[in-house]
Structure 1
């Protein structure tokens, strides 16, 4: 107690948080599981209610789960997205009280001391939580008690409310797993016959401390209120925004750019302190008539160099309608990424920086998503040996590797006349009569049996590099199973 007020804590546990997050976007009326690779084995990470009713459990090999339930739907788990979703729930829960923190990977803890009456009391507050979470499609179990440990125990073992006062009466009948102890410790206590919290509370403390360490008694005392346990709220995300109020309205492009330069210097200093870089910037200009003009800048890479960023604003600022003048400027880094400090190298990075700046300039006109680059893909099939991705959001990792030369131009196979496994001496392609001067090959490429591709159903292909006397260098292939010749590419 403090100042005559009993501390009250709510534990919100989401037992199926990963599955609920995925199924909110794409509901399914069937057994569903999320899988995660652990020790080179796909295991069940989370299950929906229908899958649990069939006897499936977390941690079991996914192959065993499919054997028990052939109709089981699955999807790879995404723990990072789950963590972001829990952080969103944490910010949402501040509607009930200001002191909200995460509880593991699937729960929240709220200190509602002195705040429950704002929603009509504890019962109405818990009912409101259940109603909102049910509307959002999330499974929720609640626990309310005087301590954080007791609230967690009630949420995870039956969902209940402990009246203010004696926590042992509320927790005594619960198993020792309700005390947030390690698995090996729980097994050791159960072997000694200490299966419930009441058994542990009356057991001699000195032998327990010698055998299991001080952690067991600390968890017990925290749950019963004999030892305090703090609740650390989730820190608010850093806000990267700076503002400049002008003594006199301005309307010239040079004046606005000068103000933008001052804002960029301050913003980049703040980004540097946290070792982050901006990917999207928003410059808001307030006019005298209280209307706003905005200039959005999307960068091809994370930056915090004011001198590099400032010229990229020129095109947007030049298109601003200043009206009777601009009296306030605000610059915000809407999207940021980690940009740790790097060791200064003797190798110049100017070429990379100039390329990023060029992509940014082109992207401001046609959109960053429309500036694309080729990336190597892990496939020996010619059509699948590359990917096309936005240049601003994809970096080439590693060199291109091909066991044999590949053509500069690759197109759909075009049939030509020919017989036998060797390239024809004369061929006609695209209304051109060509004579074979030299043929190099064959290079046999087999289809990827695990991929569905109608173009490779004919089986293996024998590829040849054919140099013609007319100067054309073609990439031909022959299909032994269904004899025929095709042209698929042209070398430079």
Structure 2
């Protein structure tokens, strides 16, 4: 009860939610099914009405379905897409009431207490729901009752509306499976002759509790309203957007930056409250002629410090054409990431922050994905001793730990003339005549036999660090199995 108003709950069940969503994007004629691989077998996950009429059902193997229906059209199921679509429906149903929650993977539950009169009564509200959902191409079954359990039972086992205060009368003819019981419990009750909810309500409670545990009677009492059941709505995700409407149009860069500073201060307060940081921001500037211009800023690291973000926005805002003036600014963080509070020390350095800001400034010109950094990899093979990762989406490594120095520049092996296992005294490389002044080595590196690499089919390599009299400091290697000398790198 809420202020004397009896509680009323609506359950919406979408029996073909996944197939309806898929057919909304790409309609087809005839039987259609979504498939999902389960236990190394491809099975039907959701079918449309035409497929159901031909005897196909959920859980059926795809091979058997094609035997029953050779013209069956199918696509792979997208479970994440279905959940996103269900959340979109949840947000849409808030037009009827603010208390809306999810009911499994294909249903919604609404607490419409005190809101039905806004739509002309319960019948008019349900008719409006059904009509709008059907026009959107969604199959739906609706149940309305005083309790969540009763509404679910009516939606899944014969649509209907339970009169206020008479849950048993509405649920009495329904099967015991309508109480949201486990399949094993439902089958066991049917074997005992308790096939309907009315039979279960009339049976002695003590024997049922001893045999099936307290869960069975709890479900029955929740459906009948003698035990409460919580209905928890899902809150909308935080919206990280702020807006400012100006009494007089502005056009100077200094004025625009001042307005952006105020918006950033408000936005960063929201981000800090949720321990989030902005990764992508979009500033929309509306001119007096109703034309809008957008300035997007992609950050190398999640931030919520207004002064740092404002300095990075300056280049984009300086390119805005103000026209006859700007009268509204809107700032939104379109992509956010968790940014927990960090302990700041008096010995901490701002070098990392300056590097991140530099990456952001360069990224606004050439794109963040075009700025890379080298990271160490766990391999003793020179070509595999590093990986290349986007600087904006990776952290710098603490250091390169190598037992012996490696050249700064690596390139594919280039053959040179040489005889014997020691570096040649004189050789030509890239049209240069070089003389060996000092040679350090060898360092034998064996191939990684568990990986296929054509470049290392020649076997082990003996690497030498050669300093030439002409000033070149090269990295040479010798292949004992197939005698030959090669240059692969150059030290700085």
Q: Structure 1 length as normaliser, TM-score?
A: 0.71
Match of 2:87 in 1: 90
Instruction: Find the counterpart in structure 2 of residue 468 from structure 1.
Output: 467
Q: Is the 8 A contact 2:34 2:44 kept in 1?
A: no
CA distance in 2 between partners of 1:340 and 1:270 (Å): 13
Conserved 8 A contact 1:126-1:142: no
Q: In structure 1, what is the Cα distance between the partners aligned to 2:232 and 2:311?
A: 43
2:44 aligns with 49
- 1:70 alignment partner in structure 2: none
Please state how far the C-alpha of 1:464 moved relative to its aligned partner.
Answer: 0.5
1:357-436 aligned at under 5 Å gives the runs 357-419=357-419, 422-436=422-436
Does the alignment pair 1:171 with 2:175? yes
The answer on whether the counterparts of 2:154 and 2:160 sit within 8 Å (CA) in structure 1 is no
- Answering whether residue 232 of structure 2 is matched by residue 258 of structure 1, we say no
Shift, 1:276, TM fit: 1.5
User: Residues 178-206 of structure 1, C-alpha deviation per residue, up to 9 Å, x if partnerless?
Assistant: 4269x9xx69979x979977686566434
Conserved 8 A contact 1:162-1:170: no
Q: Which moves more between the two structures, 406-415 or 379-388? A: 379-388
* Structure 2 partner of 1:446: 447
- Residues 402-448 of structure 1: CA distance to partner in whole angstroms, max 9, x if unpaired? 34432211112222334555544443322233344324133223235
Distance 1:118 1:223, change over 3 A: closer
Contact 1:175 1:197 (8 Å CA) reproduced: no
Bigger Cα Rg: 2
Equivalent-residue separation in structure 2 for 1:420 and 1:222 (angstroms)? 89
Partner of 2:11: 9
The CA distance in 2 between the partners of 1:424 and 1:30, in whole Å, is 68
Residue 10 of structure 1 aligns to a residue in which SS? strand
| Comparing 47-56 and 207-216, the one that deviates more | 47-56
Q: How far off its partner does 1:164 sit?
A: 3.9
Query: Counterparts of 2:41 and 2:300 in 1: how far apart (Å)?
Result: 37
The DSSP-based 3-state class of the residue aligned with 2:322 is coil
* RMSD across aligned positions (CA): 4.5
Residue 41 (structure 1) aligns with: none
Q: Which residue of 2 aligns with 1:455?
A: 455
Distance 1:124 1:3 in 2: 27
Q: Secondary structure at the match of 1:179?
A: coil
Q: 2:143 touches 2:153 (CA, 8 Å); kept in 1?
A: no
Tell me the secondary structure at the aligned position of residue 301 of structure 2. strand
Q: 1:126 to 1:276 in 2, by over 3 A?
A: closer
Give ranges in structure 2 of 5+ residues lacking alignment: 27-32, 46-57, 64-75, 117-121, 163-169
Q: Give the TM-score normalised by the residue count of structure 2.
A: 0.71
In structure 2, the residue corresponding to 1:246 is in which secondary structure? strand
Distance 1:473 1:201 in 2: 91
| 1:102-131 deviation per Cα after TM superposition (whole angstroms, max 9, x unaligned) | 345x443233966785685787677667x4
Aligned to 2:51: none
The verdict on how the C-alpha distance between 1:358 and 1:6 changes in structure 2, with shifts beyond 3 A counting, is closer
Give ranges in structure 1 of 5+ residues lacking alignment: 35-43, 57-74, 134-140
Query: Deviation of residue 226 (structure 1)?
Result: 4.5
1:47 positional shift: 5.8
Aligned-residue offset at 1:479: 4.2
Q: Distance in 2 between matches of 1:48 and 1:248?
A: 63
Please state how far the C-alpha of 1:88 moved relative to its aligned partner. 4.4
The 5 A counterparts of 1:112-261 are 131-132=137-138, 146=145, 148-149=148-149, 160-165=157-162, 166-172=170-176, 174=177, 178-179=180-181, 204-206=204-206, 209=209, 214-223=214-223, 226-261=226-261
* Residues 374 and 389, structure 1, Cα contact 8 Å, conserved in 2: yes
**How much does 1:490 deviate?**
1.8
| Equivalent residues, number | 434
Q: Is the 8 A contact 1:279 1:300 kept in 2?
A: yes
**Alpha carbons 1:10, 1:112 under 8 Å: kept:** no
**For residues 300-339 of structure 1, what are the structure 2 equivalents within 5 Å?**
300-339=300-339
* Cα pair 2:423 2:464 within 8 Å, conserved: no
2:352 corresponds in structure 1 to: 352
Q: How does 1:18-97 map to 2 (within 5 A)?
A: 33=37, 48-49=43-44, 86-95=83-92
Q: Taking structure 1 as reference, are residues 356 and 195 closer, same or farther at Cα in structure 2, changes over 3 Å only?
A: farther
Cα 1:152/1:12, change in 2 over 3 Å: farther
Is 1:250–1:327's contact at 8 Å kept on the other side of the alignment? yes
SS of alignment partner, residue 342 of structure 2:
coil
Alpha-carbon distance in 2 for matches of 1:9, 1:360: 49
In 1: Cα distance, 2:418 partner to 2:186 partner: 75
Change (3 A) 1:122 1:411: same
